[in-house]
Amino acid sequence: MPRFAANLTMLFNELPFLDRFEAAAKAGFKAVEYLFPYEWPAERLAEALSRHGLSQVLHNLPPGDWAAGERGIACHPRRTGEFQDGVGRAIEYARTLGCPRLNCLAGIAPAGEDPERLWQTFADNLEFAARELDKAGMRLLIEPINTFDIPGFLLNRTEQAARLLDRVGAGNLAIQYDIYHAQRMEGELAATIARHLGRIGHMQLADNPGRHEPGSGEINFPFLFGEIDRLGYDGWIGCEYRPATTTLAGLGWLHR
């Protein structure tokens, strides 16, 4: 069975954020991820991880103004300086948290920009970020995200991500394969994972529709987990779903 990490942005929302570490450990998780750590001092988060015996396996680079609807700035030609500053900040947090991988959100394509300029900006920013993360011994990820949930998101298919890896050519750049986003955009989950396994550095899951826990929708997770095991994937799978009721009530799939 794959190794599962609790996504503390999505799970245990019945509790204040800093109390979710203990709840995840008590539920049996050995690792956590979450979208962003920047609201809290890194040392405070590191203490919570240590106290509850948890590993931090992922967080994202700064995304721009999340509250205003921004979902990453890596493709924005006029914000490369802000992006580069964010890479440095993310590495500082990741060092303190012992987090070995960071996810880069491409962002929503700015209106009126030439598409090739957006892709070139994204590639240039990834080259910079991959180089800086490599110095720190960390891996950089890029995540295709479905355009139903986030209209206009630049990177939305696995093949796009694979082509971008070829274009950038950084050895520490990999794909974050989110099963929920992939199901919405392209399906063919098992075949796509098999085709790109060597380039997948992290996975996440949620069922569809609703983005709830496995077993709530159309994805055959027992089959898919078996295929992931058969293929030899030994990384983490982040549980990035919204519980249909409460987090603990929705963990039956994990215990099964």
Catalytic annotation, residues: 143, 240
Please give the C-alpha separations between residue 67 and each of 64, 102, 144, 182, 232, in angstroms, as whole numbers. 9, 21, 21, 25, 39
Please say whether the beta carbons of 46 and 18 come within 8 A: no
C-alpha dist (Å) from residue 157 to 140, 175, 180, 220: 18, 11, 12, 21
For residue 6, the Cα-to-chain-centroid distance in whole angstroms is: 12
Look-up of token digits 């990384």? 235
Tell me how far apart the alpha carbons of residues 241 and 225 are, in angstroms, rounded to a whole number.
Answer: 16
Orientation angle between helical segments 115-135 and 158-168, nearest 10 degrees: 60
Q: Which residue has the tokens 């085709």?
A: 195
CA distance 95 to 100: 8
Beta bridge mates, 237: 4, 203
Whole-angstrom Cα distance, residue 107 to residue 70?
A: 7
